[in-house]
A and B are shown apart, each in its own frame.
Chain A
Amino acid sequence: MKIRWLPFLLLCLVLAGCSTASDTGGRLILAAEGAEAYGSVLSPFLWGYTLQEAEDSLYAELDRGSAVACFDVQAIPAMDRGLGRYWYPHVSATVVLAVDRTQTDAVITGWDSLRENHIQVGMGSSSVMRNMLVMGALSYGLNRKEPVKRDALAFLESLVGNGGFEPEESDAPVLLCLDYEAVEWNRSGGNYEIIVPSEGTLSFRLGLLSDAPLTLEPGLDEALLSAGLPLANGQRPYGFPDDYRTARTLEEEDYDRFLELTGDSSRDLRRQVFHTRLYTTADLREHILSAVLVAVAILLWKGTVSHRMLRADVRRAVAVMSWLMVGWLLLRLFKYQLAEESTLSRMCWYGYYLFQLALPAVLLYLTEILDKPEKERQPARTRWPAFICYLLSVLLVMTNDLHQLVFRFEANGNWPKDYSYGPGYWLIIAASFILLALAVVKLFRMGRRSSYRGGKLFPLLFCGSLLAYVLAYIYRVPLAWESDITVNICILSVLFFESALRTGLVPVNIQYQRLFASAPINLTLLDESGHTVLSSGGVRPVSRSLWMRLLADIQRPLLRDRDTQLHAVSICGGMAVWQEDLSQLNHLKREIQEVQSRLEAANALLREEGEVKKRMLAAETGRELCEQLDRDMERRITVLTGLIKSLPETKDPKRLIAHITLCLCHIKRRCNLFFLARQGMALPGDELGIYLDELAELACYTGVKMLVRCGETGALDIRRAALCYDFTFETISWTLEAAASPLMGYLEAENDCLVFRFLPDADPNRWRFSEELLAEVSALGGQITCKDLDDAVGLCMTLPLGGETNG
């Protein structure tokens, strides 16, 4: 079981122990003051009922089925409100003045004569009922038509100023009492003159109120008369005044008026007659109300403190303090409910110290934990002395009945009022003062760091007034003694603590809230159970599922949504969570992605365009090539066409066909060389040799005997090779035309030059080579010359090898 339920359980046990009602048979209860004589006469006539002490209020007893002896002013209003159905009035009771003739011989006839004589007046008791009866009789006596409470109070106040008015006093020369009481005193040797006030008074009726019909044995009236009690019908035994004419009996309609007049009479007596308890609670109702109000206020205050405090241990200490005060108040309330002054109520009284003495101890503990950071474990030895001190004090108080070291009183006397303090009391008070002083000193020493110096005045003030008040109470200074010590100590303690909070002696986190609210840090602090403690402005609360996931794996950040990432660190008593805004980042990422995809698209477009262009270019190049080839071949084809056309008229078709074949071969090889040139390839020297040999072989068919020898020339570029080839073909053509067979050719490389020589069998000086050939040769920096040898003329083409001279 959790420890926090323990006090509750104890309280339940205590309460259950109180209600030990013995419900066997009927009970006769005396709820009217001075009704003992009546009760003892009545008891034998009421068969089946036993005379018992009241355990509860009149109304509660009625509810239990008891027969209650009470006054008509109690019974009739109760019956009006549905409590008790049967009312049997038996005895009449009139408020009278009993003048003790052994003490005074003043002439007294009624209320006013009391004012004139300076005589002390008493009432014999200050119970609520007695107050009510007297106040009612006074009000009705002083103003028979329109009785008002004010008159009665003013009268009593004037008595106080006159000769003195002591409600408790039973030995005063004049007593305000009931007539049968005074007769009884006279019977037992007193010398009282019984005066029915001439201005008027009230006669009440004493009788039995019950929920069930009662059967009374016959002969009660006689028995009552012989016991000296006047009957309700006006019959009175010997010893009563003769004249009761001024005494009025209340009628049915008067009771509400009576209650109005006499309600709160104890309070009014205290405040308006004796001028006491002006600033504190004066009667039970006020006691209870004030205690409940203060308890509620303390709990509310505790709520605000826990709201302001971040530290869980400080919060706990404050909560303990608050509950101590509330417990104290509740215990007092409980004690008020006890009808009689029994051992139980004395235990309750001792029990106050359980709470009262704990307060300074808890305060000291609080100041000690305030001095250290939360997680740091304090050595237990700093706390034990205070705790042991408290325990011993409580033990001492609770066992007071055994040793009377703390409070001294007569066990059978009026101990709630007549007690004195023993050495034990001074010991425990000193101990708790030392604890309190230690706590306060510690608090102020810590508070030195606080900059707010002037504010320390208030805590000091409240602390001082607390001490002064307790001392005044102990020494029974009336103002303090008459006041409600529990409520006052609670209020002063709360004020002290609150002022300590306000002035920064106890650090609170009021500012954190504001700091958090205004700081743009997106930070949330959560407690151990996932509730938000502090949160900066505009941050969405962390949901339970997020919190659980963070708790499971605090290292790993998590996405709250696509644009928000949560990071957490565990802190003392919970965790701190801050939010990272990813929206910028995501925006950037998206933009980059967009740009990338746009680039890719553009790239693809460009690639396609390139392809198209390439295809177009290729087509263009092909066309140009063809055109160039066409141009290149045009002349040769024209020659060929001419040859072919002349074929039908020729005399030697065999030779002509051979010539046409030679031309065709030349065109074919030239095309070949043309395309090789476009590919930028070189032609091996022996390949050119093969070409030239092919030409020589075909020339044989045309009747030209020729021989071409190729020297070591290496690989030739296509342009030079083509020139050599063309040069050979044209030379053959001229040889054919000039019948200069046989033809000798020799190709070799000489001093960086390619030299191609032909030696025809006729003079080649008149041979004209084609324009294209000559242009091409000179473009390469070469020349074609005729050389006169000894017995023949040779043709020579020289072409420089290597670098081209594009002139």
Chain B
Amino acid sequence: MTNLLTGYLEDRSTAQYFCFSISCEVCGEFWYSSSVPFSKAGQAAEHREKRELYDAVYQREKNRARLAAGREAVERFSQCPICRRLVCDSCFLICDEMDMCRECAGRLKESGEPVAP
């Protein structure tokens, strides 16, 4: 699941911080991961070697932040077992027999409570 989510992450990072988002495929609302500041943000690179070093650090920290965002997203997203889409907790319903997304539940006339209202 984490791998799946990590694949869906959209990059919203800036030079100052790393942030990723995933949109719910049912309601379309974006969820944003907690932003992680770049450790070298705001430090000027005086020469080319240093800039390259910073770029490398940036990439490494970004990858780490992406993994963390994926782990964070696991808490808020589920994959609907029926339509296989990624849905946010407000669109994912706990139904009697099988949990599923709001739209599938509507189609199958199932009722349930959302994971997070």
Chain A residues near B (Cβ < 8 Å): 540, 543, 545-546, 548-549, 552-553, 556, 558-563
Contact = CB atoms under 8 A, between A and B. Distances in A.
B35 A553 contact: yes
B30 A552 contact: no
Given A545-B76, A553-B35, A561 B29 contact: yes
A510 B32 CA distance: 34
Interface of B: 12, 14, 16-17, 19, 21, 23, 27-35, 76
Given A545-B76, A553-B35, A560 B29 contact: yes
Contacts of B17: 552-553
A559 B21 CA distance: 10
Contacts, number: 42
A583 to B, nearest CB: 11
Contacts of A558: 12, 30, 32
Contacts of B33: 545
Contacts of A549: 12, 19, 32, 35
A548 B21 CA distance: 12
A553 B13 CA distance: 11
A553 B76 contact: no
Contacts of A545: 31-34, 76
DSSP majority for the A interface?
mixed
A553 B28 CA distance: 22
Contacts of A543: 29, 31
Contacts of B32: 545-546, 548-549, 558
A135 to B, nearest CB: 59
A549 B36 CA distance: 10
B19 A552 contact: yes
Contacts of B12: 549, 558
A563 B17 CA distance: 24
Given A545-B76, A546-B32, A553-B35, A561 B14 contact: no
Given A545-B31, A552-B17, A552-B19, 18 more contacts: A540-B29, A545-B32, A545-B33, A545-B34, A545-B76, A546-B32, A548-B32, A552-B35, A553-B14, A553-B16, A553-B17, A553-B19, A553-B35, A556-B14, A558-B30, A561-B28, A561-B29, A563-B28
Nearest to B88: A543
Contact of A562 (B14, B19, B28): B28
Given A545-B76, A552-B17, A553-B16, A561 B34 contact: no
Given A553-B14, A553-B17, A556-B14, A548 B34 contact: yes
A552 B29 CA distance: 19
A550 to B, nearest CB: 9
A533 B107 CA distance: 36
Contacts of A559: 21, 30
A561 B29 CA distance: 4
B27 to A, nearest CB: 7
26 contacts: A540-B29, A543-B29, A543-B31, A545-B31, A545-B32, A546-B32, A548-B32, A548-B35, A549-B32, A552-B17, A552-B19, A552-B34, A553-B14, A553-B17, A553-B35, A558-B12, A558-B30, A558-B32, A559-B21, A559-B30, A561-B23, A561-B27, A561-B28, A561-B29, A562-B23, A563-B28
B17 to A, nearest CB: 6
B99 to A, nearest CB: 21
Contacts of B28: 561-563
Nearest to B90: A543
